[in-house]
Amino acid sequence: MVSVDTIRTAVGIIGNCLSLMLFLSPLPTFRRIWKSKSVEQFSAVPYLATLLNCMLWVVYGIPVVHPNSTLVVTINGAGTVIELVYVGLFLAFSGGKQRLRVLALFAVEVVFVGLVAGLVITLLPTHERRSLVVGIICIFFGTLMYVAPLAVMKLVIQTKSVEYMPLFLSLASFFNGVCWTTYALLRFDLFITIPNSLGILFCLAQLLLHIIYYKSTKEQLEARKKEREIHMTEVVVKGGGGGEQQNGDRR
């Protein structure tokens, strides 16, 4: 018979894979930044928020704080490295006040996480107390991360279009939340359960919006496509007319 620990490990590995996909999903954005050598109108805030969240979960998962959390450390360690690359690109291709702002926020995050880790490990004598303090902090910032998509959901409702809320990301986030909630429930871990359960609810809301606005999104995209085709036809016709007029002048 398969043990609970084996099932939990398998679920955690799947969660690692799904989380990694989510961490890598902004690659097209950063490819564009790299090619244009500019951050344009993109904001560094989502990546700084994710970086802070990952660093805190790494602290939570280290053996001196919460033993037997290797899979929590591996994926959040990978996420930390990936987000550091993203933030580094923002620093490289932004300028002036924007660069200073990103650098200042990054420095504050590093100092904050360092203080949390140092104070918890040195001042709290047991794993239970360390897990409690770091876990509460992780819940707070993890919940803020899951609340962030509300702005996009508001835009979807206003425009009646899910064009800027990709279905792939909503599905991947949903299954990621399911995996980590299952992982937490198999060996009950309240601090992993709460933010991921909230994540499931927010993702379900996003998927519901996809169902509600699927038809209107399709209609808007088709209408936009027809407008472009009509515009291109008018340009071609006008261009052809101008050419005939010029030939007539020559005659």
Residue 73 lies in a domain: yes
Q: What does the pLDDT look like over 56-93, one tens digit per residue?
A: 999 999 999 998 888 889 999 999 999 999 999 888 88
Residue 27 lies in a domain: yes
Q: What does the pLDDT look like over 86-103, one tens digit per residue?
A: 999 888 888 788 889 889
Lowest mean pLDDT among 35-44, 107-116, 141-150, 154-163: 141-150
How many structural domains comprise the chain?
1
Q: Which residues lie closer than 8 Å to 169 by C-beta, 6 or more apart?
A: 22, 25
Residue 52 lies in a domain: yes
Residue 181 belongs to what domain range?
Answer: 4-224
Residue 95 lies in a domain: yes
Find out whether 179 and 11 touch, Cβ atoms under 8 Å: yes
CB < 8 Å & 24+ apart, contacts of 92-101: 93/33, 93/34, 93/37, 93/38, 93/39, 94/39, 94/44, 98/39
Q: How far is CA 234 from the centre of its chain?
A: 41
Q: Given pLDDT bands bounded at 50, 70 and 90, which one contains residue 250?
A: very low
Question: pTM above 0.85?
Answer: no
Q: Which residues lie closer than 8 Å to 199 by C-beta, 6 or more apart?
A: 146, 173, 176, 177, 180
Residue 244 lies in a domain: no
Residue 240 lies in a domain: no
Give pLDDT, residue 251. Answer: 44
Q: What does the pLDDT look like over 187-233, one tens digit per residue?
A: 888 888 888 888 888 889 889 999 998 888 888 878 877 877 777 77
Residue that wins the pLDDT comparison between 168 and 113: 113
The stretch 170-194 carries a mean pLDDT of 86
Give pLDDT, residue 79. Answer: 92
Residue 172 lies in a domain: yes
Tell me the helix, strand and coil percentages in the chain, rounded to 5.
85, 0, 15
